[in-house]
Amino acid sequence: MTAFPIGPPEVPAGPSRLHDFDLTTRLSASLSRVAVPLLSTPTIPLFAMASIARQSPLLRQTCLSAFRSPLAAKNVTGVSQVVAFHASAKKQILPPLPQVVQGTMNDPAPIPKPSPSHGSYHWTFERLVAVGLIPLTIAPFAAGSLNPVMDAVLCSLLVVHSHIGFQASIIDYFPERRVPKFRTFLNWLLRAFTLTTAVGLYEFETNDVGVTEAIKRVWKA
């Protein structure tokens, strides 16, 4: 069995590195005398290769880097990008309010007064309007006949349903204690748009063909 010759390496300059260089040379020579015959043998026990790699940290690191898959390196890059993305600065639209306590520490939290018109009655009315829109939307197209009363009821429920939905959005996203003036402005703006839409649909129903007939003509155009 033939061993590969190892030429004399170049000695680094400076007397302070002679001792480390001598130890490195001896370690390389011993590893070459043990590893080369084992690697040239057809059947190599796994525990023999593991013991060789365990003796030298440099050889172990080389083996690990040689068998490292490109997918692992790609995953490391992706994780670093995700970490950099989540570590970015958080920007808020409005600055946080100061932490204040209403009253004293012993006072209970204020509870708003119950109002059925803004609670259970409002919730029930909103659901009835949403459910009533389903048959009113299908009936004119399924029956094939135009009914002005049904068309007027459909337009009225559409206006009410849209007003309730936009009003709920204003209540959720613009709290009164945070932006009281802007919320009041949005509520009045919503009322103006609702009134304008109702007047426009009334004119369209009385002086024109109506919503249902207009949708039919657009669909068949």
124-220: CATH class: mainly alpha
Query: Residue 161, annotated ligand binder?
Result: yes
pLDDT tens, position by position, for the chain (221 residues)? Answer: 545 445 545 544 544 444 454 555 555 555 555 444 444 444 444 444 555 545 555 555 555 555 555 555 555 555 555 555 555 666 667 777 777 777 788 888 878 788 877 778 888 999 999 999 998 888 877 776 667 888 888 899 999 999 999 999 999 999 888 889 999 999 999 999 999 999 999 999 889 888 888 888 888 87
DSSP letter for each residue of 83-112: HHHHTSPP--SSPPPP---SS-TTSPPP-P
Tell me the whole-structure pTM to 2 decimals: 0.53
Query: Residue 19, annotated ligand binder?
Result: no
Residue ranges per structural domain of the chain: 19-71, 124-220
Using only C-alpha atoms, the chain has a radius of gyration, in whole angstroms, of 40
- pLDDT value of position 41: 47
Q: Is 91 helix (H, G, I), strand (E, B) or coil?
A: coil
